Amino acid sequence: MGELRLMKGNEALAEAAIRAGMDAYFGYPITPQSEVLEYLTREAYRRTECTILQAESEIASINMVYGAAGAGARVMTSSSSPGISLMQEGISYIAGAELPCLLVNVNRGGPGLGTIQPSQGDYFQSVKGGGHGDYRLIVLAPATVQEMADFVQEGWDLADKYRNPVLILTDGALGQMMEKVDLRPQVDRKAHDAPGWATTGKTGDRERNIITSLFIKPEEMEQVNLRLQEKYRLIEKNEIRVQEINTEDADFIIVAYGLSARIGRKVMELLRDEGMKVGLIRPITLWPYPYETISKAAEHVKGFLALEMNAGQMVEDVRLAVNGRCPVGHYGRMGGIIPSPEEVVDEIKTMYSKIQ
């Protein structure tokens, strides 16, 4: 039923958005993800008459997303690290107002203006908050162009299910690389009504709907927070996604997501060829994080290596899961440099020899 195409990651994501019945996209150009906006301005309106608007800034974009989401539309935005930083206030508001929407961060090197090359330096920002307050984003980390496409519909479905923003955390390399992708059929975006809580105009049969994240009485604000936390516990229980490769007999495990997982897989193969029993755990949801999976593995492995293109962010979550039972190392390159499998192989051999 699908359609097979060779596509660039950013464009596959955009195409998937059209097919998933997107109602609106608001975004601002920034390398390395401008193709998302460009593709949508070329393709989207003529196919589904959805709204595609280049806003004046990322701040304007995220607030347009808030407005549209509050009115019940299936809406998304995309940006890259500095732009995502600008959006943090808006994202906090969206989470606080419990609105569904899809966000995409095509992570580039930072901090600051940084570089346009890929990086995974936004892990903390994505899963530990980013914006102010006690909220969580559901974070999906694709590792292939196919997943760049698949996670769009799945992201929106999760967003709608939990009334929570969902972030696809990808990077400049995945955004630019071209791979085969099997595209889902077109969903009729007009086929569903806006949810009952949306601001579509107060009809006589109901009270007015208010979309807000302002609860000035502390007693009320606490209740809202408790409700959010309840929601997050439910998501943690039900929505963890993780891939394990060769972990059953492994005595050393690489933990990596996204682009790093592809490198990690190659590293695992190279080491297996040399007789080392190495496995890979690939978190697909970065929040909720697969602590359980890593913790179980910690029962029988001698060490872990968190492989990520940053100074050491996800490694902290690995250490939390391992809880001191064995050494957890980190290897990462920063500034937009992608580690080679060989250098990671060396790193693991060094670490492994110290553990023995």
| Contact positions vs other proteins (CB under 8 A) | 23-24, 26, 51, 53, 55-57, 59-61, 63-73, 75, 89-90, 93, 97, 199-204, 208-214
| Nearer of residues 75 and 177 to other proteins, judged by Cβ | 75
| Nearer of residues 19 and 74 to other proteins, judged by Cβ | 74
Chain centroid to CA 226:
24
CA–CA gap between residue 28 and residue 77 (Å, rounded): 9
For residue 127, give the H/E element and its range: helix 123-127
| Nearer of residues 31 and 51 to other proteins, judged by Cβ | 51
What does the buried/exposed string (b/e) look like for 279-291 if buried means 16 or more CB atoms within 10 Å of the residue's CB? bbbbbbbbbbbbb
Cβ of residue 114: shortest distance to other proteins, in angstroms? 23
Cβ of residue 204: shortest distance to other proteins, in angstroms? 7
| Nearer of residues 200 and 295 to other proteins, judged by Cβ | 200
Cβ of residue 269: shortest distance to other proteins, in angstroms? 47
CA–CA gap between residue 90 and residue 338 (Å, rounded): 31
Tokens representing 310? 């940053």
CA–CA gap between residue 220 and residue 224 (Å, rounded): 6
Cβ of residue 183: shortest distance to other proteins, in angstroms? 25
Cβ of residue 323: shortest distance to other proteins, in angstroms? 39
Cβ of residue 166: shortest distance to other proteins, in angstroms? 18
| Nearer of residues 53 and 355 to other proteins, judged by Cβ | 53
Is omega for the bond preceding 195 within 30 degrees of 0, making it cis?
no
Sign of the dihedral defined by the CA atoms of residues 321, 323, 325, 326, in that order: positive
Cβ partners under 8 Å of residue 5, min gap 6: 12, 15, 180, 181, 183
For Cα atoms 99, 176, 43, give the angle at the middle one, nearest 5 degrees: 60
| Nearer of residues 73 and 255 to other proteins, judged by Cβ | 73
For residue 34, give the H/E element and its range: helix 34-48
Cβ of residue 201: shortest distance to other proteins, in angstroms? 4
| Nearer of residues 202 and 233 to other proteins, judged by Cβ | 202
Cβ of residue 8: shortest distance to other proteins, in angstroms? 27
Rg (CA), the chain: 21
| Nearer of residues 41 and 209 to other proteins, judged by Cβ | 209
**Residue type present at position 264:** G
Sign of the dihedral defined by the CA atoms of residues 317, 323, 325, 329, in that order: positive
CA–CA gap between residue 157 and residue 172 (Å, rounded): 25
Cβ partners under 8 Å of residue 335, min gap 6: 109, 114, 115, 117, 119
Cβ of residue 80: shortest distance to other proteins, in angstroms? 20
| Nearer of residues 77 and 144 to other proteins, judged by Cβ | 77
